[in-house]
């Protein structure tokens, strides 16, 4: 179940992601104030550019009610992730960590959707020249990393064991103990 050792890993990661996300967005809003004006950090490769995203990842937008739709979808996703957390075996660190990353990032962006009618605060702008990745934030990085890890974990859980057949194992044990005929 999702308690004990799992909770000692899950909650600090989740709280850290939310805290870093909320604080970096507050600094971005204060320091960058004007939207869509890039500020070079590492040349053209990394810039800080304040934008508000009313949609989802990569600017996916579903009309005037996007804010409410994505708030609802986030809450539904958090409920599903909660079920995954509570069904996690004690000590399954990778699964717990991936769930904490996704949940922390989802909560960080949900806070923005609740707080800002304009949308989620994004400010990390990566690319070269006009070839740029969509602007993102710490929550987005946590969700992406956690989702990737969770996909690997869930995929590996669905794979059949690669252990040798029982017949092979029993013959090996018999041979080692001198019982082989």
Active-site annotation holder among 21, 112, 125, 140? 140
Among 131, 78, 138, smallest CA distance to 103 is for: 78
Q: Is 140 tagged catalytic?
A: yes
Give CA–CA dist 180/52, Å, rounded: 72
Task: Name the catalytic one among 21, 112, 122, 125.
Answer: 122
Residue 130 is among the residues annotated as catalytic for this protein: no
Backbone angles phi and psi of 91, in degrees to 5: 85, 5
- What the block records as the tokens of 147 is 């989702």
Side-chain-side CA neighbours of residue 23 (13 Å): 6
C-alpha neighbours within 13 Å on the C-beta side of residue 179 = 6
Name the residue among 41, 30, 25 with its Cα closest to residue 136: 25
Active site residue ranges: 122, 140
């Amino acid at each position: 179940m999702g308690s004990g050792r799992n909770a000692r890993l899950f909650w600090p990661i989740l709280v850290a992601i939310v805290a870093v996300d909320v604080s970096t967005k507050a600094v971005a809003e204060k320091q960058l104030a004007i939207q869509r004006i890039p500020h070079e950090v590492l040349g053209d490769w990394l810039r800080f550019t304040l934008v508000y995203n009313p949609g989802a990842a990569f600017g996916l937008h579903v009309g005037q009610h996007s804010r409410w739709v994505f708030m609802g979808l986030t809450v539904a996703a958090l409920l599903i992730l909660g079920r995954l957390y509570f069904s996690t075996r004690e000590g399954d660190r990778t699964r717990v960590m991936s769930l904490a990353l996704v949940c922390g990032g989802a909560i960080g962006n949900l806070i923005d959707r609740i707080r800002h009618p304009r949308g989620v605060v994004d400010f990390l702008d990566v690319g070269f020249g006009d070839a740029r990745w969509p602007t993102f934030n710490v929550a987005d990085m946590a969700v992406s990393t956690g989702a990737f890890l969770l996909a690997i974990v869930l995929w590996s859980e669905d794979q059949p064991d690669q252990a040798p057949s029982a017949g092979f194992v029993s013959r090996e044990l018999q041979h080692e103990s001198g019982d082989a005929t």
